[in-house]
Amino acid sequence: MEREYVGQNQPRLELSKNQNKTKDVVKTRERIAFLMFGTFLLSLFFLLYTNFKNNKVTFSPESLTSTVSNVFSGSFTSMDISLVDEPKMKNPQELEALLLPIMENSQGNTSSWGVWIEVLDDEFTYTSNENELFPAASLLKLPLTAKFYEKIQTGELDKNEKWILKQNDKQDGYGMLASTTVGSKIDYGTLAHYCLNLSDNTAFYIINSILGRNNLEDIITSYGLDNTSFEKDTTNAQDIALFFKNLEEGKLLNEEYKQIFLKDLTNTPFDDFIPAGIPSGINAPHKVGIEEAGISDAGIVYTPEKKILMVFLSKGLNRENATEKISKMALETYWYLMQ
C-alpha cells in the first residue's frame, strides 16, 4: 500500500517542480529584460548628455522603435540609435566664396555687381554692393505695372478697357507692339502682361500715359524705393529686393493680382537669365533690365521648401557675359541654399 501511495503522488511532485522552474525562468528573463532596459535608458541618457553641447540631437523613430522592440523581446544586442545632425545653418560667407569668382572682373574686383540674396521668412541674407547705383533699365516697369494693376484691382481702371494704338505710342526696343498695326485695340490686361512678360517698351509708354506721365517718380517714392529714379535711370539691389519682398508679403497687391503679376513674370523670352540656373519645374518669376550701360535680373525662386529672392545688377558687361554670369550665380545660389 505504501509503495502504491508513493507511486501515485510522484508525478504531482515532478509537475510542481517543473512549474516552479518555469516561474523561475520567467522571473529571470523579466529581471534580465528590466536590467537591459535600464541599461538602455542610462546609455541613451549618457549619449544625449555627452553630445548635447556639440550636436542638436535627434534620432530616427524607426530605429528607436526597433531598439525598444528588441529590448522587450529579449533579442536586444546593441543600441540602434543614430545621431542625426540638423541641417547646417547657411553662412553668407560660404555663398560669397562661391559667387566672388563669378563676379570678379579681369582686374579682380566685383564693383560691377550689386547683389541681394535672401531666403524669405528666414534669417539668411547675402548682399554685395547693395547700395551702389546701377542702371535701372526695364526694372522700372515693375513699380509702374504694379500701380497699374493696383488701380485695376480697386476698380479705378477696367482691365477689359481697350487702348487704341497710335503711331506716337510706338517705342523702339523690346516688345511686339512697335510692329503692331496702328489702330489696333489692346485691353489693359494685355498691356500689363506685355509690359512685364515681353518687357514691351510700347506697353510701358502707354501705361505711363494712362497713369499720368509725370507720376512715375511719385509711384516709385510711394513704394519706398528711395534710391530708384526714372529720370536718372538708376536703382540699387536694396530697392529691387524691397519691391519683391513687399510684393510677396501682399503689401502692393492682393493675392489674386499678386499671382497675376508673378505669372506675367514667368515663361518670358528672357529665361536664359536666372531661370537658366534653376532646375526645370521650379517656378522662378523674374524681371530683366537690359540696356547698353547695364544688364540685370531679379525675381523670386519658389521651391517647395523655400522662397529665394535673387537680385543681380550689373554694369559694364555685354549681354552674353552678363547673362552667363547671372545664370551661374543663380545656379550656385540655388544649390548652396537647397542642399
What totals of helices (H) and strands (E) does the chain contain, helices first? Answer: 10, 11
- pLDDT value for 109: 67
- pLDDT value for 18: 55
Contact 193, 207 (CB under 8 A): no
- pLDDT value for 284: 98
Distance CA 96, CA 104 (A): 11
Determine the 3-state secondary structure of 310 from DSSP.
strand
C-alpha cell at 229: 529714379
Q: What is the pLDDT of residues 227-265, one digit of tens each?
A: 999 999 999 999 999 999 999 999 999 999 999 999 999
- pLDDT value for 83: 46
C-alpha cell at 218: 511719385
- pLDDT value for 213: 85
Determine the 3-state secondary structure of 163 from DSSP.
strand
Low-confidence ranges of the chain (pLDDT < 70): 1-30, 32-87, 106-110
Distances (CA, A) of 51 to 66, 82, 122: 22, 12, 27
- pLDDT value for 43: 60
Contact 214, 282 (CB under 8 A): no
C-alpha cell at 232: 536718372
Q: What angle do CA 299, 303, 308 make, to 5 degrees?
A: 40
User: Which amino acid is it at 262?
Assistant: L
Contacts of 84 (CB under 8 A, 6+ apart): 57, 58, 59, 60
**Which pairs with CB-CB distance under 8 Å and at least 24 residues apart come from 261-267?**
261/145, 261/146, 261/149, 261/196, 262/300, 264/145, 264/192, 264/193, 264/196, 264/197, 265/196, 265/197, 265/299, 266/197, 267/197
Determine the 3-state secondary structure of 146 from DSSP.
helix
C-alpha cell at 200: 514691351
- pLDDT value for 222: 97
Distance CA 133, CA 166 (A): 35
- pLDDT value for 23: 61
Contact 296, 139 (CB under 8 A): yes
User: Which amino acid is it at 26?
Assistant: V
Q: What is the pLDDT of residues 128-171, one digit of tens each?
A: 999 999 999 999 999 999 999 999 999 999 999 999 999 999 99
